[in-house]
Structures are given as C-alpha cells and as structure tokens.
C-alpha cells in the first residue's frame, strides 16, 4: 500500500508547521519591547488618573494634575480647613496689603540647586513677561501690585491698594507650584509659547518624588522617591517608594481595579459604594460616604443669553416652582447613589459651623424650598400659567405651550443622566415640558464656556481657601460669565446672570477683613437675599470629594475615624493629598519598621525610636513614621515590632 | 524562441492584489466622505466653534492649538477635491510606511496623522503596538478555533445520531451568541463569581514594558485567557456548523455514494470528503475574518484589552478624529491583508485553481 | 404546499415558536407596563414575586425594561432586515439576470462591501452622524449588510434563469423588469424569506453592539441599551446578574431562533441538504 496516493500531494505537515509557527509567533507579538524591571508591589502605590501624561508643564491645561515632583508654598487641609505651610515656612500679614512669606533656608531642588526667593518670585512673575501664560497665576496680577524680595528666604506680596483681594492671593498660594528659575529661564528663549515645553525629560522639582518612567500610549507614569528630599526633616519621607499612575478611561474600570486590589487609591464615581468589600473603604461607612463637606456644589443653570423677555423661565417664581417640584432626596439617593446631599438654598452647609454662621435664615425661610409638588403647582397657578384639562402641558394663556426646554447633559456621566431623567419626570408632574439631550463631553464644556446651552447642570468647586466669597463669585459674578468674556471662554456663571448689586457686594466682601464677622454676616446676608429672591440658578446638591482606597498594601488612610487630614482627589488644586502621601503606612512590617528607609531594619531605626520614646502625637518629638502601629504614642510596642523585623531587608 | 510567460499563479496573485487595493481605496474614500462631507459633521461644527471662540488678543492655548491642529490635519482651508487628494496621499503613504515596517526614510512623515488626545504622538506610533496586541488575540483564537471547529463538524456529519445532535445544537448556540454577550458571561462567571481570571487589562500594573521572563509570560497568559476563550468558542461553533453542512454535501455527493457502495473503507472516504469540504471553509474563513475582527473590537472593550478595538472606542469617546480615521484604515488594512494571504494559501491548496491556470481545465 | 413541508422540519418549528414567543411578549406585555423608565422600586432589588426580574440601579423594573427592549430590538431588526433584504434582492436579481457588465460591476461592489469590516464601518458612521433615531440607525445598519443576500440571490437567479419558463417569458416579449419581478422573484420567495431571517438576526446584533458602546439610537430602550446601563453601573462587578443575564439570553435565543428558521428552511428546500 503506497503511503502517498499518486496525484495527490500531502500538504498536511507543511501546513501544520506553518500554523504552529503562526500561533507561537502571534502569541509573542506584544513582546516587542524587552525590559527586565518589575516593581515590587509592596513598595509601590498604585493610583489612577484620566489625563494622558504627555506634558508636565504646570501652565499647560492638559497636563496631568498629579505632579508630585513640584510643591506649592502652602496647601489646604480639606478636613480641618486650614492653610498648612508646605514649601514655605510661614506667612504673616504686615499691615493691610502685604503678605510676608518665609522660606526655609535648606530648601533645595532635586538637582542640588538651592531653592530660594528668586525661584518664588520668578514663578509668580512669569505672567508679567510672558503673555501666553493664563490661569490663576495670571489673574492674580489683577489684584497684586508687586512682589518684593526681602532676602533669600523672605518675600513680600503686596496687593493693590484699590482692590486688595486677599482671597485670590491665598488661593493662588496653595495652587501654584514653585518652578526652578535656573531651568525655566533657559527655556524662555527656546520656546515662543512656554506652554509647549513638555518638561518630561528628568523634570527638575523640589518634591519628594522624581520621574522614573513615562509612556503616553501605555498611559503609565512611574514616580520614584527621592531619598535626598530636602523636606525630610520637616515632613519625613513618604513610605511608598514608587507611585505608579495608570490612565483609565472609565469609572467602571477604576472601580473594578480597586475592588480587585490593583489600585490603592481612586477617585471614581462608585455606585453602590456601601457594598465595598472588606479591605476597601471610603471616608465613612454612612451616607454620604465621602467627606461631608461641599467640595463641589451641583446647580441647575439657566442660560439668560437664551432665555429672555416673556419666557416663563425668565420668571423667578417659575424657577422657584421648579425647585419645589424636584424630589431632591430621591435625586441624591438614586442618581448619585447616595453620595450627595441636598444643598442648602444659601449654598452654605449647615454642617460646617464656620460657614453656617453666615446663613441668612430669614431669606432661606422666605425664598427657600423643599420637595412639595402641591406648592409647586400652586405657585405656577398663581403666576398665571394655566393647566387646563385639555392640555398635556401648562400654557401662557390657554394656547401657547410653555417650553419645551432642552437640558444638555454629557453622555456617559451616568449620575447626571439619571438625575436629568428624574428632573424630567418631576417637571412633567407640574406641567412643564423639557427634553434631555445627551451630548459629547467636549460639546458640553464648550456650551457652558460659550453660553450656548438652555438648561444644564454643573458642579463648580466650592471648597477652596477662598470660600465663601469664591462660591458666590464663581457662580454669580458677571465678570466670570460668557456674556462678559465672549469671544474668550468663560470660567464661571455659565448662565450669564447679571446683577450690579451682587457684583458690588462681591467686590466689597473681597476687600473686607475675613475676621470681621459682623460686617461679613451683613454683606453675605444681603447677597443671599438677592440671589435667593431672584433664583437665577437652583442650588441642588453638595458633593464630597471622590475617594476610595484599598488597604491591601497601604494603611493609615484618612477616614472619619482617623481624620488626620482631608481625603481628597488627586486633582485637588490645593494639593490637599500631600499629607496623606506622607503618612501612608506599608502593610508590610519590614517597610513600616525601616523608619529611615535605608533598606534594612537595624539599630539606627530602633535608635530613632528610642530617642523619641514616649512622645505623644501632639508633641514636637513625635515623628509619625516612628509610631509603627500608629496608636498615637511611640512606645515599647513599636520597638518590639522593629525588633521582630530586625535585620530584614527590602529594596530601598 | 520561447516567449517568456508569466507564471499563472503569479497572474492570479496580481489579480487578487488589484482587487484588494481597489477595495482599500474605496474604504478610504468612504471614510473621507463620512468624516468630511456629511452635513453638520462634528469636525465642521467644532472648527466653527473654535473660530468663534478665537480671542482678539493673544492666543489661548487650548483653543488655538486645537484649531491649528484641525486645520493642519484635515487641510480644512482647502477645497473639497484638494482635501481628498491630500487625504489619499497621506493615507496611502502611511499605509506603505506601515507595510514596509517603517524602514523607508522618505515616508517617515507619513504617519496617519497626529492624535489629539495623545498629542504630539502620531497615530502610527500609537497603533503599531495596539495592532500587535489585537493580532495576538485574533490569530491564535481563529487558527485553533478553525482546526477544532472543523474537526468537530466533520465528526458530527459523519457519525450522525446523538453526537450530531449534541455538536449541532451546542455549535448553533455558541455561534449565535454575540461576542460581547459571551464576553460578559465569561467575565461574570470566571472573573467575579470564581475569581480564577483577572477582570481585564493585558497585564498587571507593576510591569514596566515587557520582558520574556516566565513570570511575565504567565501573567500575560492569565490576562489573555478570557478574551481568547470568548473569541475561540464562537469560532469553534461557527466552523463546526459550516463544516457539518459542507460534509453533508460531500457525503451526499455522487462519488461518495458510489465509492461507498463499491466497498471502499469508510475511513478513507471520510478523509477524502474532509479534504474536499475544507476548501470552501477556508474561503469562508477569509470572509469571516472581517466579522471576527469586528466582533473582537467590542470584546476588547468589555475586557479592557489594550488592542485596536479599545483604542477606537476611546478615540470615539474623546472625538479624536485623526485617531478614528487611522484606526479604521488600519482595521480595514489588516482585514484585507489577511484575506489576501488566505487567498494565496487557498490557491496553493486547491488543485483546481492551479489547474485552471496551467490550462488543464477549461 | 410549502407550509406542509415546513411543518416537518423540527428546526423550523422550534425556531418559529421561539420567535413568536418573543414577538408575543414584546407586543402584549408593553400594554401592561407603559412606562419602563419609571423609577418605582428600590435600588438593585433582586428578583422577587412582585418584580420578576428585580430592579436596576435606578430603581426601574427590569422586566418592564426587558419587554420594551425586546420590542425595540425586534423593530429595528425587522426594519434593518427589510432594508438589507430589499437592497440585496434587487441587486442580486438584477446582477444575476442581466449578466455581463452589469453583473461584473454589481458583483465587484458586493465583494468590496463584503470584505470591508462592517461593524468597524458602522462604528465610524454612527460616530459621525449628528442625529441618531431608530429609523435612521436601522437604515444605516441595513445598507451595510446587504452583500450576503445579494450574493445568494444572484446565484439563485442564475440557476432559475436557465429554466424553460423564463425562456418562454422572454419569448413572449415581456420587459425585463416584469420578468424579474413577476417570474423570477416569486419563485424565490422562500429563499428570500430565509435571507430576511438572517438579515434580521444580523440587524438585531448590530444594533445591540452599537448601543452597548453608546453609538446606538439615542434615548430608546433596547436590549443593547440595557446592557450599556448594566456596564456603566457596574452590574458585573457588583454581581447583580439579573440586570444583564436575561438580556444576554434573550439576544442569543432571538438570533438562534432566526437562524434555526433559516437552517430549517434550508433543509427542506435545498435538496443537497437532505440526509440520505
């Protein structure tokens, strides 16, 4: 019997081997770049962000917000609501117009150069020389007269006598990172537009971390701790040796990764957050789960560039009826998955005493609202918008229908989409027709900045060093609106509300001494009276900062039970997360006990603990990294833990 | 003197190559029409807005840069037919650049455009890596699925009875589940209920770049398993059904019935039938590559697998038009190249085609 | 006569009964549940006696969403199927009957459309259309999926063309258009119906896929949209299987039923498929 049939060739083995080759090669296709480094998980802190790391230039609005290689002069502790010195040592008001900042003498950049007043002066003065620099630091010069360098460690910021706005100055001191003059001044000649300087090659900064690796397509940035960080005597050294920052593109992915332990810290909107498994957490285990401060305030904006004349929405009582008609607690429960609370009509939270004292309770009682459909219908009937039996909707005079109005919502923001649906249903119940239009994120941003929407939502940031003034300023001041700024984009007051007295009040408040409570109460009181009576926009909900963590590798997270600092997101412009980074403790005992982070638990570590023996957390000798079990005292238990780990090494 | 004649096989290859080139040309033109010429298309709207927002004074970084980028990328300052010429030049140049693995220095600047979200990286930079990931997922699942599926289909057809029923019904079910549905179910069962596999990604975080260590390979396979399974199972189902039909044709054909009645061994006969039946399956595979690729796009989104599908999805969310354009071109290119290669392979295998060109058959 | 034959095919019977069940569910149930988007229950309630499929993350009745979703998916599927079949039949019949240059041109176009990855094209198309309502989307899905039908109809036309009664019709002087529409197509009716079943299945799948990634018709309740909400509210991570499992099963059953109808009819009408 012939093995091969005549006339028929046997291609079998040939094709089999081709297929096998294809299989093996294709499996290995992704191994196109070969590198050997793997970061040990327990030394790394994993976080996520949304911005592609193409540039680390502080003036580029597209650059990632998380830049741990740079530091601001001060930061805002979001829970205690205090300005905490960071790069600077202290500040002091000299007279009414001058703020004196003192820097430590040993501040240094990570390339060895010393950091002094020249760098601070340079950073803040850049907008004067380079017109392309915009943003907060440029706006500052509307109110700042000049900066005097008194000595290499002291500077004076002098405000203009005619409008010394202290709020903006303090705000900018927490947001603006200090840049190295010796690097940036050379870049000034190189670049026509300074914002094009990517600053991704060994960027020089003063912070505790240096850039180790960045890949824009992979979306991965890796920061490595600088053991020579100048501030280690003041802030200590952060325990995470590496910070790995991954770009994610959806809340779902971030939440998945957190629940599987692949992220340590995240700021994704997490539905059903009460079902977080063991070992994961957020600020509190009770609603609203996030820090109960109005970090952002949600409002319904009406656009007065589109709503004019006799339009029903131009009538404040109609808007008030809408406020009565919306089921705010259902909105917070369902649309925001219990993460928000209904806002106080005055925009000030009753739960924060320093702010609550300014609430004008009379105005709130008279012009405020609560969910009450009957009352809503009453108001509309009284205002003369009949709802006849024959009609589906209310009308102006029996024939012309009110609306329909269009609410613009970015598609994909599931909480807002759900909220809009609820609002839709609620308004149907009082006879007003609205449509919800879903659009792309970028169309949404353009429409609010250029005033082309009809109705929309937004959540401006309302927990900054400059509140409560800033809250009212960014929402109601006509100078931030599209009407005032076009053709440039607006940066607040999306609906172009314009009231001269409100603007006046805001300006007066900005110049009033923040300690003059009597004067301020009267001023805020009048302000609230006007904006509540006219109700141009409807305050809706208070949102705490998004915050979830995993305790698998790092512990000592700020929570309700451990509120040593505020729990904010990585995009907090006032850098409130710095203390958290420096106080995280590794769950690996070896790393936790290696207090000087030199790679080995040895006599030096025990010696440091012995020197601070008995220190309680309030006392100056207490260094939190010596308190291994973080029980508030450096005692024998901490030394015992170190002894148990004696001689253990880890990768420093 | 003997006139030198072109090999008939070569002619066949050329004919096919021309067809595929023509198809690619049409696909690129379609994209051009969709992206540039549709009324109220997002690019025009966006540029109109940017122009309206342009400040009288100095430049505003974000607005101005985007505006200039759009004008440059889409040559919006030119007329429609000029735009078309520039577009085709750029696309075709980039395609050649990609196909020649970027060796040719002249074509270095032809790169499918500059991405907006990853500015200043070019689409080519971004896509080459992602394409490799997608191929690594597709090729093994299609090849292994093809082999296993056809084998099962042949068995079902020749054995009939219970095996036939079981195989047929399972395959029918499997081949009809949409890729993303199977992906969701696998994800739920194996990544959530039984935590055997990770919920997504191509590899774990702590790895910088890639390495050929055993450790890394295991991690990679661990993340690879579920996406692979969701494509593999459906391919098996589809191939089994198809092969079963082809085998039944063969089993009913004259030569088979006749030979069987002559007493030839069943096994050998089934072997012949199999070899005949598999030819149209290969053509079918070529045609379905496009649909499997398309199906894998959404699977990648479900598993967050870093391939082209996920890149296209993110590009659409972020309205990164150059990236959308480039992704689609590369997806089409891959499909066409795969079809072309399979056509050549088919020409090798099927003796009838070679016979046609050698003049044996009319 | 054909109906008697069809009743013999088990596959056809199974397929048609599943399809009729879904159609029935989709037409009758929505009358009882007019407002699927009403938020009437607690969040994430698992299935119970009052609510057979529980509630979704916004407190909406999943069963109500489910039946409305089937209704919408069926509508879009039927519409897309009609468009695709109509286009495919016309092109295939004309190409097959005319032959020559017309055939070459039409078949080249068909082959080109066959090779271009459809879903990718659909994704790009959907991304650039400003307004997406169900009619437009069904139309778009239909005009990107006709090639398969065109090809099959063409080969059927070719075989029919050779038959005597067509020659008779030609000799009697009927116009080509009349021959195609009065003699050729009616004889292929069962075949056209088979193609329609396939196209409808494809249409349902395409719409679901597009809706799931957010590119489907805006503001509707379809099976794909339900999956999209399940994904964006993280039903899989939270283990809320009742939100997405019934939908997945429904889609699979729907498309399987249509394909069973197709295979069943194929077995009856296609002599090569008969088992000896």
pLDDT tens digits for range A22-41 = 676 666 666 554 444 677 88
**Chains in touch with C (≥3 Cβ pairs < 8 A):** A, B
Chain C residues lying within 8 Å of B287, measured CB to CB: 114-115
pLDDT tier for residue C252 given thresholds of 50, 70 and 90: confident
In chain C, which residue's Cα lies nearest the Cα of B297?
C120
Q: What is the pLDDT of residue B42?
A: 60
Residue C133 to residue A337: CA distance in whole angstroms: 30
Q: Which of C226, C234, A251 is nearest to B192 (CA)?
A: C234
Cα first-last separation, chain B: 27
Strand stretches in A443-575, DSSP E = 455-458, 538-543, 548-550, 554-555
Residue C26 C-alpha, separation from nearest chain A C-alpha, in angstroms: 24
Locus of tokens 């001494």: A513
Minimum distance, in Å, between the CA of residue B358 and any CA atom of chain C:
24
Contacts with B, A 430-469, CB within 8 Å: 440-442, 446, 449-450
Of residues A11, A29, A44, nearest to B135 (C-beta): A29
* pLDDT mean across residues, chain A: 87
Q: What are phi and psi of A277, to 5 degrees?
A: -75, 175
Q: In the prediction, which pLDDT does A137 show?
A: 86
Q: Give the percent of chain A with pLDDT over 70.
A: 94
What pLDDT is stored for residue B37 in this prediction? Answer: 66
Does the pLDDT of residue C129 top 60, yes or no?
Answer: yes
Give alpha helix (H) positions in A99-191. 117-129, 136-140, 166-175, 181-190
Largest CA distance in chain C: 73
pLDDT tens string, chain B, 362 residues long: the values are: 555 566 777 887 888 888 888 888 888 888 888 877 666 566 666 666 555 544 444 444 455 666 666 777 777 677 778 888 888 888 888 888 888 776 666 666 667 777 777 766 778 888 887 888 888 888 888 888 888 998 888 888 888 788 888 888 888 888 878 888 888 888 888 877 777 777 677 666 555 555 566 777 787 888 888 899 999 999 998 888 888 888 888 888 888 888 888 888 878 888 888 888 887 888 778 777 877 888 888 888 888 888 888 888 888 777 777 888 888 888 888 888 888 888 887 777 776 766 666 665 44
Q: What is the pLDDT of residue A576?
A: 92
- Could you tell me how many helices (H) and strands (E) chain A has, helices first? 22, 21
- C238 in reach of chain A (CB within 8 A): yes
Which of A68-82, A276-290, B76-90 comes out lowest in average pLDDT?
B76-90
Search chain B and give the residue with CA nearest A48: B205
Cβ–Cβ contact A335 with C under 8 A: yes
Q: Is residue C214 less than 8 Å (CB to CB) from chain A? A: yes
Contact status of B297 with chain C (Cβ, < 8 Å): yes
**pLDDT score, position B54:** 46
For residue C232, the distance in angstroms to the closest alpha carbon of chain A comes to 6
Which residue of chain A comes nearest to C238, CA vs CA?
A275
Which helix (H) or strand (E) is A625 found in, with range?
A: none
User: What residues of chain A, 170 to 189, have a C-beta less than 8 Å from chain C?
Assistant: none
* 3 state SS of C125: helix
Q: Which residues of C touch B23 (CB under 8 A)?
A: 111-112, 115-116
Calpha distance B199→B188 (Å, rounded): 9
Cross-chain Cβ contact A28/B136 below 8 Å = yes
B119 touches chain A (CB under 8 A): yes
Q: Subunits touching A (CB < 8 Å, at least 3 pairs)? A: B, C
As a whole number, mean pLDDT of residues C20-47 equals 83
Q: Give the per-residue pLDDT at C274.
A: 56
Which residues, in sequence order, are CB contacts of A69 under 8 Å at separation 6+?
A56, A110, A203, A205, A206, A207, A209, A210, A211, A223
Q: Which residue carries 């009267």 as its tokens?
A: A522
- The residue-averaged pLDDT of A132-142 equals 82
Residues whose CB falls within 8 Å of the CB of residue B50, separated by 6 or more in sequence, listed in order: B63, B66, B67, B70
Note the pLDDT of residue C185.
72
Report residue A251's pLDDT band, with 50, 70 and 90 as the boundaries.
confident
* Among C150, C245, C254, C154, residue whose Cα is nearest residue C202: C254
pLDDT tens across C208-238, in order?
988 888 888 877 888 988 988 888 888 877 8
Residues of chain A contacting B202 with CB distance shorter than 8 Å: 30
- The confidence score (pLDDT) of residue A1 equals 42
Residue A597, pLDDT > 50, answer yes
The alpha-carbon gap from A216 to the nearest alpha carbon of chain B, in Å, equals 7
Mutate to test the interface with A, among B124, B209, B341 (most CBs of A within 10 A): B209
Q: Is the peptide bond before A78 cis (omega within 30 degrees of 0)?
A: no
Q: For the sheet containing A209-215, what is the strand order?
A: A209-215, A220-225, A242-247, A44-49, A265-266, A548-550, A280-281
Give the confidence band of A6 by pLDDT, cuts at 50, 70, 90. Answer: very low
- What confidence score (pLDDT) does residue C275 get? 52
Name the nearest CA neighbour of C262 among C20, C84, C14: C14
Give B-chain residues touching A54 at CB under 8 angstroms.
118-121
Give pLDDT, residue A145: 92
Helix (H) or strand (E) holding A154: strand A154-159
Q: What is the pLDDT of residue B59?
A: 41
Q: Is the pLDDT of residue C276 over 70?
A: no
């549905």: which residue's tokens? B181
Say if residue A290's pLDDT is above 50: yes
Per DSSP, the residues of B164-183 read: HHHHHHHHHHHHHS-HHHHH
Residues 6+ apart with CB under 8 A from A516: none
**How many inter-chain contacts (B to C, CB under 8 Å) are there?**
135
* Better pLDDT: C219 or A123: A123
Report the distance separating Cα B16 and Cα B10, nearest Å.
10
| Residue B361, pLDDT score | 42
Size of interface A-B (CB pairs under 8 A): 138
The 10s digit of each residue's pLDDT in A539-571 is 999 999 999 999 999 999 999 998 989 999 999
- Provide the ipTM: 0.77
Pick C237's closest partner by Cβ from A259, A436, A438: A259
Bridge-partner residues for A439, per DSSP? A410
Query: What is the C-alpha separation between A423 and A324, in angstroms, rounded?
Result: 11
- Of A43-57, A68-82, A175-189, B114-128, least confident by mean pLDDT is B114-128
Nearest to C233 among A271, A425, A436 (CB): A271
CB of A305 within 8 Å of a chain C CB? The answer is no
Show residues of chain A in contact with B211, CB under 8 Å.
Answer: 31, 34-36, 38
* Out of B2-6, B278-282, C55-59, C68-72, least confident range: B2-6
Question: Which residue from A31, A132, A262 is facing B205, i.e. has the nearest CB?
Answer: A262
Whether C57 and A438 lie within 8 Å, measured CB to CB: no
Q: Among B54, B55, B61, whose Cβ lies nearest the Cβ of A195?
A: B61
**Closest chain A residue to C42, measured at CA:** A334
Q: Are the Cβ atoms of C276 and B335 closer than 8 angstroms?
A: no
Question: Are the beta carbons of B23 and C213 separated by less than 8 Å?
Answer: no
Confidence label for A619 from pLDDT (cuts 50, 70 and 90): confident
Residue in the block written with tokens 């007066």: A508
Question: CB contacts < 8 Å between A and C, how many?
Answer: 48
Do C117 and B257 make contact, defined as CB atoms within 8 angstroms?
no
Mean local confidence (pLDDT), C102-123? 83
Residue C86 or residue B178, greater confidence: C86
| Residue A455 bridge partners (DSSP) | A302, A407
- pLDDT score, position B302: 83
- pLDDT bracket for residue A7 (50, 70, 90): very low
Full-model pTM: 0.82
- The reported pLDDT for the residue numbered B322 is 82
Q: Which of C232, C235, C236, C239 should we substitute to test contact with A (largest number of A Cβ atoms within 10 Å)?
A: C232
**Contact flag C116-B27 (C-beta cutoff 8 Å):** yes
pLDDT digits (tens, 9 = 90+) for A455-511: 999 999 999 888 899 999 999 999 889 888 876 778 889 999 999 999 999 999 988
Which of B285, B294, B336 is the best mutation test for C, with the most CBs of C within 10 A?
B294
Q: Chain A within 8 Å of B206 (Cβ-Cβ)?
A: yes
What value does the mean pLDDT take over residues A150-172? Answer: 90
Residues pairing with A280 in the sheet: A550
Q: What is the pLDDT of residue A2?
A: 41
- Beta-carbon separation of B206 and A39 below 8 A: yes
Q: Does B246 touch chain C (CB under 8 A)?
A: no
- Is B117 in Cβ contact with A30 (below 8 Å)? no
CB pair distance less than 8 Å for C57 and A256? no
Is B40 within 8 Å of chain A by CB? Answer: no
Q: If DSSP states are collapsed to H, E and C, what string results for A294-339?
A: CCEEEEEEECCCCCCCCCHHHCHHHHHHHHHHCCHHHHHHHHCCCC
Placement of tokens 């342009």 in the chain: B54
CB contacts, 8 Å: A337 with chain C: 43, 57
Q: Map residue A612 onto helix, strand or coil.
A: coil
pLDDT at A158 over 90: yes
Determine the distance in angstroms separating the CA of B284 from the nearest CA of chain C, rounded to an integer.
11
């Amino acid at each position: 019997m012939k093995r091969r049939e005549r006339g028929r060739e046997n291609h079998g083995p040939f094709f089999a081997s081709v297929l096998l080759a294809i299989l093996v090669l294709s499996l290995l296709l992704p191994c196109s770049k070969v590198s050997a480094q793997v970061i040990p998980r327990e030394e790394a802190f994993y976080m996520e962000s949304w911005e592609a790391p193409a540039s680390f230039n502080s003036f580029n609005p597209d650059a990632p917000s998380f830049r741990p290689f740079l530091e601001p002069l001060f930061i805002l502790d979001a829970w205690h609501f205090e300005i905490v010195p960071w790069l600077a040592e202290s500040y002091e008001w000299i007279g009414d117009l001058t703020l004196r900042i003192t820097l430590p003498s040993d501040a240094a950049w990570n390339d060895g150069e010393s950091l002094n007043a020249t760098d601070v002066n340079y950073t803040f003065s850049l907008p004067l020389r380079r017109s392309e620099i915009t943003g907060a630091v440029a706006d500052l010069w509307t109110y700042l007269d000049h900066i005097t360098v008194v000595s290499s460690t002291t500077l004076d910021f002098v405000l203009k006598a005619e409008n010394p706005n202290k709020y903006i100055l303090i705000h900018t001191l927490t947001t603006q990172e200090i840049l190295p003059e010796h690097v940036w001044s050379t870049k000034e000649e190189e670049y026509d537009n300074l914002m094009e300087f990517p600053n991704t090659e060994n960027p020089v900064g003063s912070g505790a971390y240096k850039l180790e690796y960045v890949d824009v397509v992979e979306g991965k940035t890796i920061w490595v701790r600088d053991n020579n960080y100048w501030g280690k005597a003041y802030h200590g050294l952060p325990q995470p040796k590496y910070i790995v920052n991954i770009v994610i593109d959806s809340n779902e992915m971030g939440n998945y990764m957190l629940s599987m332990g692949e992220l340590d810290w995240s700021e994704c909107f997490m539905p059903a957050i009460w079902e977080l498994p063991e070992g994961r957490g957020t600020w509190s285990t009770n609603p609203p789960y996030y820090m109960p401060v109005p970090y952002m305030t949600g409002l319904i904006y009406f656009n007065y560039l589109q709503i004019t004349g006799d339009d029903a929405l131009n009538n404040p009582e109609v808007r008030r009826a809408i406020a009565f008609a919306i089921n705010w607690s259902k909105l917070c429960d369902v649309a925001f998955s219990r993460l928000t609370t209904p806002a106080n009509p005055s925009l000030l939270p009753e739960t924060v005493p320093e702010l609550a004292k300014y609430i004008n309770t009379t105005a709130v009682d008279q012009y405020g609202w609560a969910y009450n459909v009957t009352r809503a219908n009453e108001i509309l009937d009284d205002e003369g918008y009949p709802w006849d039996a024959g009609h589906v909707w209310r009308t102006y005079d029996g024939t012309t229908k009110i609306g329909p109005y269009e609410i613009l919502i970015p598609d994909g923001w599931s909480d807002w989409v759900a909220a809009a649906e609820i609002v839709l249903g609620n308004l149907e119940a009082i006879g007003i027709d609205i449509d919800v239009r879903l659009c792309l994120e970028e169309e949404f941003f353009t429409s609010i900045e250029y005033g082309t929407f009809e109705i929309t939502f937004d959540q401006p940031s309302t927990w900054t060093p400059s509140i409560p003034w800033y809250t009212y300023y960014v929402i109601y001041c006509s100078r931030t609106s599209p009407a005032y700024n076009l053709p440039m984009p607006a940066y607040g007051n999306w609906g172009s509300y314009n009231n001269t007295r409100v603007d006046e009040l805001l300006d007066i408040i900005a110049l009033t001494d923040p300690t003059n409570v009597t004067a301020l109460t009267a001023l805020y009181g009048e302000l609230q009276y006007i904006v509540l009576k006219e109700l141009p926009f409807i305050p809706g909900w208070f949102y705490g900062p998004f915050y979830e963590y995993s305790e698998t590798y790092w512990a000592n997270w700020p929570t309700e039970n451990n509120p040593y600092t505020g729990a904010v997101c990585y995009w907090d412009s006032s850098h409130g997360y710095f203390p958290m980074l420096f106080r995280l403790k590794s769950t690996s005992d070896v790393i936790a006990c290696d207090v000087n982070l030199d790679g080995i638990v040895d006599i030096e570590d025990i010696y440091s603990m012995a020197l601070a023996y008995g220190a309680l957390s309030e006392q100056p000798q207490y260094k939190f990294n010596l308190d291994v079990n973080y029980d508030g005292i450096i005692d024998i238990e901490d030394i015992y833990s170190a002894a148990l780990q004696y001689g253990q090494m880890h990768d420093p | 003197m003997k006139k030198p004649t072109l090999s008939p096989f070569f002619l066949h290859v050329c004919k096919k190559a021309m067809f595929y080139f023509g198809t690619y040309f049409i696909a690129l033109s379609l994209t051009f029409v969709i992206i540039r010429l549709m009324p109220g298309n997002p690019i025009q709207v966006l540029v109109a807005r940017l122009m309206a927002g342009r400040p009288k004074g100095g430049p505003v970084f974000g607005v101005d840069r985007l505006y200039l980028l759009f004008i440059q990328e889409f040559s919006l300052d030119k007329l429609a037919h000029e735009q078309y010429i520039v577009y085709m030049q750029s696309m075709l140049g980039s395609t050649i650049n990609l196909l020649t693995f970027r060796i040719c220095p002249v074509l270095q600047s032809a790169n499918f455009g500059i991405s907006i979200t990853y500015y200043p990286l070019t689409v080519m930079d971004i896509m080459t890596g992602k394409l490799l990931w997608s191929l690594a997922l597709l090729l093994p699942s299609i090849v292994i699925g093809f082999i296993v599926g056809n084998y099962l289909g042949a068995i079902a057809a020749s054995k009939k009875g219970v095996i036939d029923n079981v195989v047929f019904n399972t395959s029918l079910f499997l081949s009809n589940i949409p890729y993303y549905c199977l992906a969701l179910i696998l994800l739920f069962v194996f990544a959530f209920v039984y935590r055997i596999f990770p919920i997504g990604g191509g590899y774990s975080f702590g790895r910088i770049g890639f390495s050929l260590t055993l450790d890394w390979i295991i991690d990679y396979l661990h993340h690879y398993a579920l996406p692979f399974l969701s494509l593999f199972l459906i391919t098996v189902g589809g191939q089994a059904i198809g092969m079963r039909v082809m085998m039944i044709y063969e089993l009913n054909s004259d030569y088979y019935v006749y030979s069987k009645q002559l007493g030839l061994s069943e096994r050998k006969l089934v072997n012949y039938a199999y070899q005949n039946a598999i030819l149209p399956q290969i053509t079918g595979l070529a045609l379905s590559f496009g649909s499997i690729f398309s199906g894998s796009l959404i699977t990648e989104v479900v598993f967050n697998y870093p391939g082209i599908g996920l890149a296209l999805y993110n590009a659409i969310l972020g309205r990164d038009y150059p990236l959308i354009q480039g992704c689609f071109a590369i997806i089409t290119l891959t499909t066409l190249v795969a079809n072309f290669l399979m056509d050549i392979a088919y020409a090798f295998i099927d003796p009838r085609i070679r016979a046609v060109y050698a003049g044996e058959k009319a | 006569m054909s109906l008697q034959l069809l009743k013999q095919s088990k596959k056809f019977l199974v397929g048609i009964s599943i399809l009729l069940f879904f159609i029935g569910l989709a037409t009758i149930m929505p009358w009882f549940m007019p407002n699927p988007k009403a938020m009437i229950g607690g969040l994430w309630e698992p299935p119970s006696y009052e609510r057979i499929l529980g509630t979704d993350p916004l407190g909406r009745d999943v069963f109500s969403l489910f039946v409305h979703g089937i209704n919408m998916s069926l509508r879009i599927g039927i519409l897309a199927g009609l468009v695709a079949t109509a286009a495919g039949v016309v092109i295939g019949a004309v190409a097959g009957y005319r032959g020559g240059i017309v055939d070459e041109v039409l078949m080249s176009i068909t082959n080109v459309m066959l090779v271009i990855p459809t879903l990718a094209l659909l994704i790009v198309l959907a991304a650039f259309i400003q307004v997406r309502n169900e009619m437009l989307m069904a139309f778009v899905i239909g005009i990107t999926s006709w090639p398969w039908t065109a090809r099959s109809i063409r080969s059927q036309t070719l075989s029919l063309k050779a038959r005597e009664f067509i020659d008779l019709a030609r000799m009697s002087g009927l116009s080509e258009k009349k021959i195609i529409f009065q003699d050729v197509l009616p004889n292929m009716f069962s075949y056209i119906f088979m193609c329609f079943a396939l196209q409808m299945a494809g249409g349902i799948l395409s719409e679901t896929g597009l809706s799931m990634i957010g590119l489907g018709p805006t503001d509707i309740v379809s099976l794909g949209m339900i999956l999209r909400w399940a994904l964006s509210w993280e039903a899989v991570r939270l283990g809320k299987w009742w939100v997405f499992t019934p939908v997945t099963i429904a889609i699979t059953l729907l498309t399987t039923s249509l394909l069973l109808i197709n295979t069943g009819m194929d077995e009856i009408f296609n002599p090569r498929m008969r088992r000896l």
